[in-house]
């Protein structure tokens, strides 16, 4: 378990509450920002492998495309413009393909 996982678990355990048969917990990162590692190289490798898999398996490509469209339609994710990426406040050392 990573340090961030341990910290999240500590936050959840310290703030878990059972009231009237309902579980209540805090959002672990609402007031605490985790220190995330620069994982660009790992994610670039993952992206290459994903592209290869999508090119070689039509079924996986179609399912992946439907999944991403669903995420976009439900506004769980959004495309980020190059302008937004270049803003200093948005820049982070964490990448996910």
Helix, strand, or coil (residue 1): coil
The pTM (predicted TM-score) of the whole model is 0.52
Confirm if 93 and 40 have CB atoms less than 8 A apart.
yes
Domains in the chain: how many in total? 2
- Which pLDDT score is estimated for 60? 95
The residues pairing with 17 across neighbouring beta strands, listed in sequence order, are: 24
- Domain limits for position 29: 1-35
For residue range 64-76, what is the model confidence (pLDDT) as tens digits? 999 999 999 998 8
**Domain co-membership, 94 together with 63:** yes
**Domain co-membership, 18 together with 41:** no
The residues pairing with 92 across neighbouring beta strands, listed in sequence order, are: none
**Domain co-membership, 54 together with 91:** yes
């Amino acid at each position: 378990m990573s340090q961030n996982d341990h910290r999240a678990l500590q936050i959840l355990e310290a703030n878990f509450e059972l009231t009237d048969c309902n579980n209540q917990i805090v959002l672990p990162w609402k007031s605490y920002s985790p220190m995330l590692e620069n994982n660009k190289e790992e994610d670039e490798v993952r992206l290459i492998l994903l592209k290869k898999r999508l090119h070689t398996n039509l079924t996986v490509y179609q399912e992946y495309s439907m999944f991403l469209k669903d995420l976009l339609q439900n506004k769980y994710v959004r495309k980020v413009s190059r302008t937004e990426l270049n803003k200093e406040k948005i820049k982070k050392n964490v990448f996910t393909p």
